[in-house]
Structure 1
Amino acid sequence: MKTKVLIILNLLFFIFSCSREESVKPTPTPPVETDVVTPQNVKTYMVDKNATTETAALFYNLRNLGKTKTVIGQQDAFNSFYQTSGFSDMKKATGNDPGILGSDFMFITDKDNPSNQWFVQQENKIIADTKEAYAKGIINTFSWHLREPYHENSFYTSDMTATEKADAFKNILPGGKFHNWYKTKLDKVAQIVSQLKDSNGTLIPIIFRPFHEFDGNWFWWGASYCTPEEYISAYRFTVEYLRDTKNVHNILYAFSPDNSYGSANSYFSRYPGDQYVDILGMDNYGDFDNKGTSGANAANAKLKYLSDAAITKHKIAALTETGYRVTSTTPAIPNWFSTYLFDAINNNNVQIAYVMFWTNNSSGYYVPTPGTSNVADFQSFALKNKIVMQHQLKNLYKFP
């Protein structure tokens, strides 16, 4: 009898043990997602398949960095009103230079350059600043406030007649009366970019965002003054002329509307196509104009559209212009940087590679300097783990 009991107990133990082993299964290891973009094939995802090695490395590294970090910078960082000590305003506030330097082709292509020496001086300063930034590992980005083709006095539609506003942009297209004029302006851009070289003769990569904030009506290339097809044609012509006709191969091209869109579809309503865009950008001042949390959430939702699209398209996403301007009559907003802006670029897993603040000048500032009421807020923002400045940049111009 004892023997039978032992056999039964052993059998039950065996069955129990087997059932436990079957029920406690090891947790499967999730598959490791591999990025399809590699140093070897990166140019196939870029606008310029013949881009210089440094330009391709910038695209590759900035795209990867943007998955977890955001570089911050400023327009005219080395040439602003408050720059009295030889340092950028950002360095005076934080001890470190910006990771992005914004410049403009406006004075370089002005009708009075080179007849007016002041414009030549501005051109030389921009070239020198670009070279200085590159030597420090900083990213260079250029906008272009191109003056209208009738009188070349302004880029604002408020300074143009109704006829001029209706005709100007469409006439820079092939066959238009201003097409040769526009090609001459692009010739000057190509000349300058082709001469941007470091001390070893290496071409310096730049980001170029032609016809920015096109969804507004304040510039003569705005949405009310051209059809989507005309805008797309002008953007494509600009890229093809610089890349294919002028053989300029050190440019990344940015698509940069303002913040008017409310959906992914509207964001892409004037999109030139993946073959013409490296960076999906957005300029946004309006959502941050003293609108608190609701404004930050609105900005975050719009950044989410372009961030998700950039991931899908294997591009770079960026907040190409932003800021809140403090003046003698417009006080700073408490926690604007450390709360509202940071939430907009951080929440909902957005991947924003860089943020650029606009320039400081005699009438107001976007980046605080020592002694201003919101400098501590900016310092707190700059110290966040997600935020990257010049001293934290790895070499973006070399492949890992």
Structure 2
Amino acid sequence: MYNQSDSRYTVDPKLVNPRADANARRLMKYLCDIYGSRILTGQQIGVESTPELDILYGVTGKYPAVYGFDFMNYSPSRTERGAECRDTDTAIDWWKSGGIVTFCWHWNAPKDLIDLPPDKNWDTGFYTKATTFDITQAMDHPESEEFQLLLRDMDVIALQLKRLQDAGVPVLWRPLHEASGGWFWWGAHGADPCIRLWKLMYDRMTNMHKLNNLIWVWNGQHADWYPGDEYVDIIGEDLYPSVRDYSSQQEHFQKARTYTKQNKVIALSENGVLPDPDLMLKDQALWAWNCTWYGTFVYVTEDGRREYSSAYTEREQLIKYYDHPLTVTKDELPNLIEYDI
């Protein structure tokens, strides 16, 4: 294990929710304890199938420490059209097997889906281009149908988060991601309505639904979109550099630190290519965890068989990442149910 004494990596593990439950506090304490000295390996789940873990294990002989899930297919405007999802069940099993859980939510717009093929189908309704849903109208008018539908959708996802809480699962919870890019409807009308939506979601899930298993990971990717330190536990950056670009992404790591005047844990909450551990050490860009996106970033299908793809991260580079003393794989995690807080 590396011993980094840089004060930037000294983070108070106190969560923004003062009623955070014991397992959430244990996970946050562990993240802060290793921050700056170890990096958790991670992988996002596939939407319709989950071959990524088996493929990673086949190449490295190890599983990632963090498994990424998505509440997308629990969105009401998807379930009413027949979508189904088992990510909550899979996440509970992953936690029980000793892994760490993170969830994002590709939130299909509650209404006003354009639903025109080929690139504006209802099932791409989280994209700005596929819906006319107006977040500003919704947030400016709490009496409106649009606002009430926002509450309905949040309450549906809260039920899934409650299932996780009841199973003892702490969640690295990353809603409203990549907002400043504008390609998702929650970021389509600027920072102000999105920040208000974040605060509304935090209040409703924390105070109304009493979800105390959440570690709030903000991923807005621009200082103007930051809702405030009292609403954020961890800052995430989503980065997709050119293929086989193994740089540490130091400039993005340093930029993320400027969003707050406090020391916050900084994570590589999505990535395509894996950064090189030696370069991360050299540049002191020590992300808390990575979460490689799924599908073609991991595998290709040839003759009906799924095999590891070196298109983005070469096989040897993947093995180096999973074998490196800087990184933590699932087998190296402590028993987080008994972790000392």
TM-score interval, normalised by the smaller of the two chains: 0.7 to 0.9
Among 20, 29, 33, the alignment partner of 1:51 is: 20
- Residues 148 and 168 in structure 1, CA contact (< 8 A), matched pair in contact too: no
Aligned residue for 1:196, secondary structure, equals helix
Distance 2:236 2:285 in 1: 13
Counterpart of 1:179 in 2: which secondary structure?
helix
SS in 1 for 2:43: strand
* Partner SS state of residue 73, structure 2: coil
Verify: 1:277 aligned to 2:237, yes or no. no
In the alignment, the residues of structure 2 paired with residue 182 and residue 174 of structure 1 have an alpha-carbon distance, to the nearest angstrom, of: 12
Write out aligned runs for 1:215-294 (5 A). Answer: 215-222=180-187, 225-258=188-221, 267-285=222-240, 288-290=241-243, 292=245
CA distance in 2, matches of 1:82, 1:72: 17
Aligned to 2:33: 64
Q: How far, CA to CA, are the matches of 1:350 and 1:308 in structure 2?
A: 14
CA distance in 2, matches of 1:97, 1:32: 29
Name the structure 2 match of 1:189: 157
Equivalent residues, number: 315
- Aligned identity (percent) is 21
**How far, CA to CA, are the matches of 2:47 and 2:331 in structure 1?**
16
The normalised TM-score by structure 1 is 0.71
Mark the structure with the bigger radius of gyration: 1
Distance 1:204 1:248, change over 3 A: same
- Do the aligned partners of 1:257 and 1:283 also contact (CA within 8 Å) in 2? no
2:329 is the alignment partner of 1:366: no
- 2:270 maps to which residue? 321
Q: 1:307 to 1:61 in 2, by over 3 A?
A: farther
Residue 49 to residue 365, structure 1, CA distance change in 2 (3 Å): same
- 1:212 and 2:181 equivalent? no
Q: Tell me the secondary structure at the aligned position of residue 79 of structure 2.
A: coil
**Cα offset, 1:247, TM superposition:** 1.1
What displacement does 1:196 show?
1.7
Choose the corresponding residue for 2:253, options 292, 299, 303.
Answer: 303
Does the 8 A contact of 1:100 with 1:139 survive in 2? yes
Distance in 1, Cα, partners of 2:89 & 2:173? 18
Q: What CA distance in whole angstroms lies between the structure 1 residues aligned with 2:236 and 2:202?
A: 17
Equivalent residues of 1:342, 1:381 under 8 A apart: yes
Q: Cα distance 1:144–1:345, how it changes in 2: closer, same or farther (>3 A)?
A: farther
User: Where does the alignment leave 5 or more consecutive residues of structure 1 unmatched?
Assistant: 1-30, 259-266, 325-336
CA distance in 2, matches of 1:220, 1:234: 12
Point out where structure 2 has 5 or more consecutive residues left out of the alignment. 114-121, 301-305
Aligned residue number for residue 75 of structure 2: 109
Shift of 1:78: 10
Alpha-carbon separation, structure 2, partners of 1:221 and 1:343: 37
- TM-score normalized by the length of structure 2: 0.82
Q: Tell me if the contact between 1:76 and 1:101 (Cα under 8 Å) persists in the aligned partners.
A: yes
Note the C-alpha offset of 1:203.
2.4
Could you tell me which residue of structure 2 aligns to residue 262 of structure 1?
Answer: none
Cα distance change, pair 352–114 in 1 and its aligned pair in 2 (3 A): same
Residues 255 and 149 of structure 1: is their aligned pair in 2 closer, same or farther, counting only changes over 3 Å?
same
Where do residues 35-46 of structure 1 align in structure 2 (5 Å cutoff)? 37=12, 42=13, 45-46=14-15
Residues 1:345 and 1:183: Cα distance change in structure 2 (over 3 Å): farther
In the aligned structure 2, how far is the partner of 1:308 from the partner of 1:136? 36
